[in-house]
Amino acid sequence: MRIEVWADMVCPWAYIGKRRLEKALACPALAGLDAEVVWRPYRIDPTAPSQATPVDESSAAAVADGAAASCTLGPSPAQSRVLVSQVAAEEGFGPEWGAAWRAGSFDAHHLLTLAYEHGGSVLQDQVAEQVLKAHFLDHLDISDRRLLQGIADRAGFPGGALLDSGAADREVRELLLIGKARGIATSPTIVVGDRALAGAQPAEVMADFLTEAAGVRTREIPEEVQRLRWSESLLDQRDPLGALTLLQPLLARHGDDLNVRRLAARGYFHSAQLSRAHDVLRQLVADAPDDSYTRLMLGRTLQRLGRSEEAAVHLKMAAAMTPEFA
The pLDDT, as a whole number, for residue 71 is: 56
The pLDDT, as a whole number, for residue 167 is: 83
The per-residue DSSP string of 212-265 comes to HHHTS--PPPPHHHHHHHHHHHHHHTT-HHHHHHHHHHHHHH-TT-HHHHHHHH
Single-letter residue type at 14? A
Nearest alpha carbon to residue 7 among 45, 47, 62, 55: 45
Angle between the N-to-C axes of helices 223-236 and 258-270, in degrees from 0 to 180, rounded to the nearest 10: 30
The pLDDT, as a whole number, for residue 279 is: 97
Domains and CATH numbers, the chain: 2-214 (3.40.30.10), 223-325 (1.25.40.10)
Nearest alpha carbon to residue 22 among 200, 215, 198, 212: 200
- What is the greatest pairwise CA distance in the chain? 72
Beta bridge partners of 115: none
Beta bridge partners of 7: 41
The distance from CA 322 to its chain's CA centroid, rounded to whole angstroms, is 37
Distances (CA, A) of 293 to 218, 259, 283, 289, 325: 33, 12, 14, 10, 8
The pLDDT, as a whole number, for residue 66 is: 54
In tens digits, the chain (326 residues) has pLDDT values of 999 999 999 999 999 999 999 999 999 989 888 999 999 999 998 888 888 999 875 555 555 555 555 555 545 555 566 788 889 999 999 888 999 999 999 999 999 999 999 999 999 999 999 999 999 999 999 999 999 999 999 999 988 888 888 888 999 999 999 999 999 999 999 999 989 999 999 999 999 999 999 888 777 889 999 999 999 999 999 999 999 999 999 999 999 999 999 999 999 999 999 999 999 999 999 999 999 999 999 999 999 999 999 999 999 999 999 999 98
Q: How far apart are CA 143 and CA 141, in angstroms?
A: 5
The pLDDT, as a whole number, for residue 233 is: 98
Q: What is the pLDDT of residues 264-293, one digit of tens each?
A: 999 999 999 999 999 999 999 999 999 999
Q: What is the pLDDT of residues 103-121, one digit of tens each?
A: 999 999 999 999 999 999 9
